[in-house]
């Protein structure tokens, strides 16, 4: 194992202390009982996703990749960068530490301040809003040690000259987020969007809540 140097070591120590996550900017306005249409949607989605993506390897083979550590529910998120979902193509899948499917996110990009979606028989009040940000995963090129849960707001990234459509690790270097571009294993834009959370197992108060 080669030493990574004082700068890189200090950087990795600091990065390991970062445990934040991007939270919803606008919370749901409805968390009541499921309607018949919502129940039908939930049953259909669960049947489909549990058949196609029951294990984390199934999701990875379909193009989903990990970008965070387990959250307070134990979910580890995997995204595919396809942010306009349909009922059979969620934008994210989440798995537990044993690799079992826990749930999925269905999203609709909010480019021009569009109101909550009216889709699939779901009460519009169940959707969350997420503001645009850049996610990235750090990997020590010498040891392979990986750090998840790294992100930066779109505005800050763009102010440094970064492209939101094609984000580059070089911008993170300018922002002193990494010692050099080799430390960035994954980088992608998570655009402003409406997001619907769907649990694959029973969850309170509803299967559409955080």
Query: pLDDT of 68-102, one tens digit each?
Result: 999 999 999 999 999 999 999 999 999 999 999 99
Interatomic CA distance for residues 189 and 106, integer angstroms: 16
Among 205, 31, 196, CA closest to 103: 196
* pTM for this model (two decimals): 0.89
CB 63 within 8 Å of CB 80: yes
The tens digit of pLDDT for each residue in 2-61 reads 333 444 444 444 444 444 456 667 889 999 999 999 999 999 999 999 999 999 999 999
pLDDT for 63:
98
Output phi, psi for 78, to 5 deg: -130, 130
Give residue 9's pLDDT. Answer: 47
């Amino acid at each position: 194992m080669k030493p990574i140097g004082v700068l890189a070591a200090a950087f990795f120590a600091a990065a390991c202390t970062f445990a934040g996550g991007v939270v919803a900017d606008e919370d749901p306005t409805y968390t009541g009982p499921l309607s018949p249409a919502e129940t039908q949607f939930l049953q259909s989605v669960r049947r489909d996703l549990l058949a196609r993506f029951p294990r984390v390897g199934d999701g990875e083979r379909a193009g989903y990749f990990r970008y965070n550590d387990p959250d307070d529910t134990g979910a580890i998120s995997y995204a595919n960068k396809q942010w306009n979902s349909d009922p059979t193509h969620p934008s994210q899948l989440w798995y537990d530490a044993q690799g079992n499917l826990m749930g999925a996110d269905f999203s609709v990009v909010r480019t021009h301040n569009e109101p909550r979606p009216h889709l699939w028989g779901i009460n519009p009040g169940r959707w969350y809003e997420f503001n645009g940000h850049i996610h990235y995963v750090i990997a020590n090129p010498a040891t392979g040690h990986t750090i998840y849960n790294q992100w930066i707001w779109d505005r800050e990234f763009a102010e440094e000259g970064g492209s939101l459509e094609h984000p580059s690790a070089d911008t993170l270097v300018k922002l002193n987020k990494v010692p050099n571009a080799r430390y960035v294993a994954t980088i992608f834009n998570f655009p402003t969007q409406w997001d619907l959370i769907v649990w694959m197992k029973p969850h309170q108060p509803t299967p559409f809540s955080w």
